[in-house]
Structure 1
């Protein structure tokens, strides 16, 4: 028996076992690690700006720590503030929908119109079903307060784990990159190109899709507040989600809101919000998105939407971001494939 073969087989078996155990250890925090890499890529340009100063070149850890503080300031604090306002506005909205007489009158008018246009739905009591739905929703929230609180704590812990991991990823980014290239069986040329394309894809998806949707939601919420629409923060948050859906977009929130304002007799605010929605909320997508999305990687909005839904189905809530990033990685790999094998593809025809 060849001793070297036995030794190699034993080592590979042991190595495989250790890899499996290591994956099992890191698996509970895999989302935090993924988001840490995403944030590190997004904020890497800011980190490089800090490193231009000779002081931070000697203290890379301090530069990384300042980026963590920056993220806390621009992400965590606004999220906490908006979350508290959302809870307050959602409670206020529930009270107004259940108790407000106008809401029931509006529902009755809608019900009459539906019964007139579609008699087959005449037996459906829209008002009663709305009241039942509102009460069931409130009961569900009350019964699951413990679970909701537990999930909130889990999200907060995961966020701080992400920041902790991101600190070391930024601080040791050259070492991490060199080690990955060293361990990869591909040539260094391929590794560097894949890394560059992936970073480009991450920035394109985050800036070109999520950032644009966030800006549209903020502008929509600001417009709701200026023109006196109730619960502007809640509606703005819903607008962010709507902005991510192709062919639906912000219009699915803006138009019903404008119609509601008209129905309540506030004609001037409705006209003002219409102009605001068209000039700011709607046009910002056409102005910003082409500038934020890199020319080298362009993903169709429908594919982003489908990949987000697929990500949600497979990975849960984090999949809303992970799904589009996987699609972006696929685009990057296809792009490299076309560049590297274009001569072969042409000659094979």
Structure 2
């Protein structure tokens, strides 16, 4: 009886200190998450370096971090700096009245008067709608500019998070295998199940980060190039925004280029508008429709509609980190139910790890 009470008390203590430790780490959740994700992605490189230089884990982890800095961190910092600079210029043009969202809305209304009739038939108050859209456009441009300024003002906080992420990544690269073995020993789920879940975590994280980032870079670059060619203000700014929005499957970058296309039609720039429409649907959209299923859906082994809903849901709950966390939770959900059906429902599970 006493032993049973001691075990229960210890389990309660274990839960309490685990929750307390989680709360302590909560402010650094983003840095910890990305350290884990980067470790999963660059672990094959670290293992390759270990084979080349021998059993020197500190050196291999350090070289891996240097390569990470060279191909990811430094380019992102340079791009962010350019993005902030162009965002400040855009904000100044809005404040100076050179760019007027209400004027843009009025030109769209004048160019497409049939929209009013369609909206009336749908029971939508067009006058209030125009006011709301104008207010939204003004608010969106000001919000974008404020966030751009905020990035510049919060450089110190960003550098602290980046430093913590890189610091933790070094130790995860060096000691990751031992940590996984320790977790497998500690969790009471069954070693085989835990290894399957860890493998799924690695597969999905690698696929979503690499796949979505490749799609984002491609679509952002394509969008920025066509905006520059057509002499649309702020091509770098809008290219980066399209890259972020392309993390949302199906719609993504079209949230930016399609309204710009309508505005070009409204202002009489028919050639530029037609070029942008054809380019957006045929080139930018093709990059999403071709690359995402290949790089994300195939490697995560998730249906396209699951990837779509889990990505949007993840972003709505967790912000920018959600484009990885959403599909990851969906994949672990499906993997857990597959294990349950195999081990507890008597169903055969023919799928084998490749």
Q: Same fold (TM over 0.5)?
A: yes
Q: Deviations over 1:169-194 (max 9, x none)?
A: 11112211221222222333222222
Q: Specify every segment of 5 or more residues in structure 2 that has no aligned partner in the other structure, as ranges.
A: 350-354
Residue 279 and residue 51 in structure 1: after superposition, are their counterparts in 2 closer, same or farther (change >3 A)?
farther
Q: Equivalent residue for 1:173?
A: 176
Residue 132 and residue 265 in structure 1: after superposition, are their counterparts in 2 closer, same or farther (change >3 A)?
closer
Structure of higher CA gyration radius = 1
Q: How far has the Cα of 1:340 moved from its partner?
A: 4.4
Aligned partners of 1:107 and 1:127 also within 8 Å? no
Q: How far has the Cα of 1:221 moved from its partner?
A: 1.5
Q: Deviations over 1:19-50 (max 9, x none)?
A: 34433433332332222111111122222222
Residue 137 and residue 166 in structure 1: after superposition, are their counterparts in 2 closer, same or farther (change >3 A)?
same
**Aligned 1:202-217 pairs, distance under 5 A:** 202-217=205-220
Q: Deviations over 1:54-87 (max 9, x none)?
A: x1x3222222122222332333323333223323
Q: Equivalent residue for 2:63?
A: 66
Residue 10 and residue 70 in structure 1: after superposition, are their counterparts in 2 closer, same or farther (change >3 A)?
same
Counterpart pick for 1:258 among 258, 261, 278: 261
Q: Equivalent residue for 1:164?
A: 167
Residue 101 and residue 87 in structure 1: after superposition, are their counterparts in 2 closer, same or farther (change >3 A)?
closer
Deviates more, 1:273-282 or 1:213-222: 273-282
Q: TM-score, normalised by structure 1?
A: 0.78
Give the whole-Å Cα distance in 1 for the aligned partners of 2:266 and 2:107: 11
Give the whole-Å Cα distance in 1 for the aligned partners of 2:9 and 2:40: 38
Counterpart pick for 2:228 among 220, 225, 229: 225
Q: Deviations over 1:252-283 (max 9, x none)?
A: 33333334344555555445444443443222
Give the whole-Å Cα distance in 2 for the aligned partners of 1:140 and 1:125: 22
Q: Equivalent residue for 1:193?
A: 196
Aligned length: 342
Give the whole-Å Cα distance in 1 for the aligned partners of 2:100 and 2:21: 60
Give the whole-Å Cα distance in 1 for the aligned partners of 2:300 and 2:139: 47
Q: Secondary structure at the match of 2:300?
A: coil
Q: Secondary structure at the match of 1:293?
A: helix
Q: Equivalent residue for 1:99?
A: 97
**Aligned 1:82-97 pairs, distance under 5 A:** 82-97=79-94
Give the whole-Å Cα distance in 1 for the aligned partners of 2:223 and 2:148: 30
Q: Equivalent residue for 2:352?
A: none
Give the whole-Å Cα distance in 2 for the aligned partners of 1:80 and 1:249: 23
Q: TM-score, normalised by structure 2?
A: 0.77
Q: Secondary structure at the match of 1:43?
A: helix
Aligned partners of 1:115 and 1:122 also within 8 Å? no
Q: Equivalent residue for 2:294?
A: 291
**Aligned 1:237-316 pairs, distance under 5 A:** 237-264=240-267, 266-293=269-296, 295=298, 297-316=300-319
